Amino acid sequence: MKKGVKYVVRKKGMFWPSQEMKKIANITDSKIYEKAAKNPIKFWENLAREGITWEKEWDKAYVEKLPYFQWFRNGKLNFSVNCLDRHLDHGSRVAMIWVPEPVSEKPVKWTYRELYDKVCRFANVLKSNGIRKGDVVSIYLPMIPEALVAMLACTRIGAIHSVVFSAFSTDALRARIEDGNAKIIITSDGYFRRGKPEFLLKKAVKAAKNTTVEKIIVVDRLGKRVRGKKFLDFYTEVELADSYCEPEIVNSQDTMFILYTSGTTGKPKGIVHDTGGYAVQAYWTSKWNFNLNPGDLMWCTADVGWITGHTYAFYGPLLTGATTLIYEGSPDYPDPGRWWEIIEEHKVNVFYTAPTAIRMFMRVNENWIKKHDLSSIRILGTVGEPIDEESWMWYFEKIGGGRCPIIDTWWQTETGGTLINVLPGIGPFVPTVSGKSFPGVTHRIVDDNGKPVKKGKEGFLVQKSPFAPGMLHGVFNNHKKYVDTYWKKFRKYYDTSDGAFIYKGLIRITGRTDDVMKVAGHRLATAELENAIHSHKKVAECAVVPMPDEIRGQVPVAFVVLKRGGGSERLERKIKKFVDQKIGPTARPHKIYFVGDLPKTRSGKIMRRILKALLVNEEPKGLMTLVNPESVEEIRKTISKYGSKK
Ligand code: PRX
């Protein structure tokens, strides 16, 4: 491995930015935190002016009437103008590099001008198919460049995009189409995954049946031409369309996109993000966390079906005029050297991934990494779940060559952009610790009553007013859910549903405090999975709990009571397949235990806590409250018979 520039130094057992990092960092003065805290609204106003191109300035920077608040009220802008038009003076710069999975296919590079041209044309396609400002467009696409075109085209005309993760099932897609009343779906015939074609179109067609969808626009990725009145071929339409599309100027507070995420109930919620506030936060977090400037190359490995893909694989790099790299395929296909080869070939400067991927690579032969020159990397990022010290150190040494800061970014679908992390030009970089609230944002760690906990004690992580500009602006068509989920418990604080404590003056996240699991960084509600399993005709009752997993962080395990008869391996396989159909393979239970009864309280509440303890071989507490304590022994036996891991 080549040495490369050293961006960190070790001081007092901690890592700090080196002089080289200080020289290149977009922000190095730690006073920024105090300055911002003095008047956060003014601070964000200044950032909004400096970072974003507005058609007209806002009449009021921040309006709050909890549980709702608005940033840059009546400020006028167009999001795609900020990602594209304003970079056209340097239109020959590369905006995007796409690496297809098959090694035989060449990477595709689009300049800002080329991307602009495609976005304008496709925006005209949407318009000519009746899409107007405020309409919802469903996007069911894998990691191909057309996803970027489709999303930006929506923002060009003020339409609301609703991206659905391509590995989600027909049922999951249908639920999201129905909730948003989408008139159009943009999908592809499929994509490549682990060397094989994955077909998407059939799923999309099935999902669209008997819904509001009038047209399906299909990207030809696998060479399958579609025919029929309902279908439009993406490129045929793009070529026919006009190459200029006047940007629709929207209000800052107008909805830009919806993204569904799991809550604690069975139905996913449509998280609503506005335009101006989101743009400001996406821009400045990219600028300060990842130090992005024109000419820099960022690779965020997240899929566009998740918020990380939206903000840092697509929008953040483009807002800052940098270049984004997106990759279609599996991290270890055709071999575990693939990611590192991509970094070497394209000279990636900022690499952003999840602890799950890091833990997976820790288990492969080091030579797959060692043989590649990773000296182009300046900053490493991690997101999605807490990272343990061993994985942090491995990432730091093996990928960063001991040279690069690790920016452990805590945030959520709801927050739109990162909120808690250390800034690369300021430091310190401490394993397992996310860091400080982004300048201009305040978090507190509180007890059940909303009172601050004692220093160093664990509590609930909440955010305080004024709330960050990128924050959600509601749950789509569901005011009650918005209030119940985020504002009921602490009222004046936004409830993150995460636990945290202060360590060395910085925030360390301990994980979810509700019934939400993080499986390989993906968010999954136990209730959603229970609903899916419960709808299987043979299932009488079920409970899903997370089990610790060395690579994926957590995996779901299901305990199932059948209506009749005993379970079998065949039925276990069938139920797993059933979950694939209902939600998608990311939700597939790792193991299903068939049991006679589930531990319940007198009021009928299933004690998941007991199941969790049994899974990790701990003695469960509080058995006295159960109506059926004998169920515990039976479950213990079942677990030991089949083993807690498969
Ligand atoms: O529990 C926290 C965890 O991921 C949750 C949000 O999940 P999602 O909406 O899917 O967004 C993930 C990517 C932004 C949080 O409530 N989480 C996210 N980042 C971190 C984290 N936990 C620990 N450390 C992080 N850096």
pLDDT digits (tens, 9 = 90+) for 418-434: 999 999 999 999 999 99
Give me the pLDDT at residue 644, please: 57
- HSE, CB side, 13 Å, CA atoms: give it for residue 439: 26
- For 231-275, how does the pLDDT look when each residue is reduced to its tens digit (9 = 90+)? 999 999 999 999 999 999 999 999 999 999 977 666 789 999 999
276 alpha carbon – ligand 1 mean position (Å):
23
Residue with tokens 């996310």: 434
- Tell whether ligand 1 has an atom less than 6 A from the beta carbon of residue 156: no
Whether a cis peptide bond, with omega within 30° of 0, leads into 466 is yes
- Tell whether ligand 1 has an atom less than 6 A from the beta carbon of residue 412: yes
Token reading at 179 = 């909730």
411 alpha carbon – ligand 1 mean position (Å):
5
Q: Is 468 helix (H, G, I), strand (E, B) or coil?
A: coil
Instruction: Give span(s): CATH 3.30.300.30, the chain.
Output: 520-645
Site to substitute for ligand 1 among 509, 522, 586, most atoms within 8 A of C-beta: 509
Site to substitute for ligand 1 among 411, 516, 524, most atoms within 8 A of C-beta: 411
SS3 readout for 542-602: EEEEEEEECCCEEEEEEEEEECCCCCCHHHHHHHHHHHHHHCCHHHCCCEEEECCCCCEEC
- Tell whether ligand 1 has an atom less than 6 A from the beta carbon of residue 355: no
- Tell whether ligand 1 has an atom less than 6 A from the beta carbon of residue 408: yes
Angle at 298 between CA 159 and CA 29, to 5 degrees: 100
Ligand 1 atom with least separation from CA of 386: 23
118 alpha carbon – ligand 1 mean position (Å):
33
Give me the pLDDT at residue 646, please: 41
Ligand 1 atom with least separation from CA of 516: 1
Helices 608-615 and 630-642: crossing angle in degrees, nearest 10, is 40
Which of these, 162, 267, 178, 256, lies nearest to 485 by C-alpha position?
267
- Indicate the pairing of strand 136-140 with strand 184-188: parallel
Q: Give the whole-number percent of the chain exceeding pLDDT 70.
A: 98
Distance between CA atoms of residues 147 and 150, nearest Å = 5
- 626: which residues sit within 8 A by CB, 6+ positions away? 599, 600, 601, 607, 610, 632
Whether a cis peptide bond, with omega within 30° of 0, leads into 599 is no
Which of these, 249, 247, 252, lies nearest to 74 by C-alpha position?
252
* Distance from the Cα of residue 209 to its chain's centroid: 28
- Tell whether ligand 1 has an atom less than 6 A from the beta carbon of residue 518: yes
Q: Give the whole-number percent of the chain exceeding pLDDT 90.
A: 92
| CATH code 3.30.300.30 for 520-645 | yes
227 alpha carbon – ligand 1 mean position (Å):
42
Distance between CA atoms of residues 347 and 614, nearest Å = 48
Backbone dihedral angles phi then psi of residue 296, each to the nearest 5 degrees: -80, 150
Nearest CA to ligand 1 atom 25: 410
Cα 550 to Cα 33, 349, 360, 386, distances in angstroms: 36, 29, 9, 13
- Indicate the pairing of strand 255-261 with strand 160-163: parallel
Q: Is 493 helix (H, G, I), strand (E, B) or coil?
A: coil
Superfamily of domain 8-500: ANL, N-terminal domain (3.40.50.12780)
- Tell whether ligand 1 has an atom less than 6 A from the beta carbon of residue 384: yes
Whether the Cβ atoms of residue 287 and residue 26 lie closer than 8 Å to each other: yes
Token reading at 81 = 């103008």
Distance between CA atoms of residues 420 and 410, nearest Å = 5
Give me the pLDDT at residue 517, please: 92
- Tell whether ligand 1 has an atom less than 6 A from the beta carbon of residue 308: yes
- Tell whether ligand 1 has an atom less than 6 A from the beta carbon of residue 385: yes
Q: How many residues does the structure list for the chain?
A: 646
Distance between CA atoms of residues 383 and 552, nearest Å = 13
Give me the pLDDT at residue 642, please: 80
Distance between CA atoms of residues 377 and 387, nearest Å = 20
- Tell whether ligand 1 has an atom less than 6 A from the beta carbon of residue 486: no
Instruction: Give span(s): CATH 3.40.50.12780, the chain.
Output: 8-500
Backbone conformation region of residue 166, classed left if phi is above 0, alpha if psi is from -120 to 50, else beta:
alpha
- Tell whether ligand 1 has an atom less than 6 A from the beta carbon of residue 201: no
Give me the pLDDT at residue 641, please: 87
Which of these, 319, 405, 242, 392, lies nearest to 51 by C-alpha position?
319
Q: Is 277 helix (H, G, I), strand (E, B) or coil?
A: helix
Nearest CA to ligand 1 atom 26: 410
Whether the Cβ atoms of residue 524 and residue 516 lie closer than 8 Å to each other: yes
Distance between CA atoms of residues 554 and 148, nearest Å = 31
- HSE, CB side, 13 Å, CA atoms: give it for residue 427: 21
β partners of residue 208 = none
- Tell whether ligand 1 has an atom less than 6 A from the beta carbon of residue 615: no
* Distance from the Cα of residue 257 to its chain's centroid: 14
Ligand 1 atom with least separation from CA of 418: 14
Ligand 1 atom with least separation from CA of 261: 9
191 alpha carbon – ligand 1 mean position (Å):
27
- 602: which residues sit within 8 A by CB, 6+ positions away? 625, 627
Alpha helix (H) ranges present in 437-538? Answer: 479-486, 526-534
79 alpha carbon – ligand 1 mean position (Å):
25
- 13: which residues sit within 8 A by CB, 6+ positions away? none
Site to substitute for ligand 1 among 418, 494, 498, most atoms within 8 A of C-beta: 498
DSSP string, 194-256: TTEEEE-HHHHHHHHTTSS--EEEEE-SSS----STTEEEHHHHHHHS-S--PPPPEETTSEE
Nearest CA to ligand 1 atom 6: 412
pLDDT < 50 positions in the chain: 645-646
Which of these, 587, 606, 609, 590, lies nearest to 598 by C-alpha position?
606
Nearest CA to ligand 1 atom 8: 412
State the first-to-last Cα distance of the chain, in angstroms, to the nearest integer: 37
- Tell whether ligand 1 has an atom less than 6 A from the beta carbon of residue 530: no
- For 45-75, how does the pLDDT look when each residue is reduced to its tens digit (9 = 90+)? 999 999 999 999 999 999 999 999 999 999 9
354 alpha carbon – ligand 1 mean position (Å):
10
Distance between CA atoms of residues 402 and 382, nearest Å = 16
384 alpha carbon – ligand 1 mean position (Å):
4
Backbone conformation region of residue 103, classed left if phi is above 0, alpha if psi is from -120 to 50, else beta:
alpha
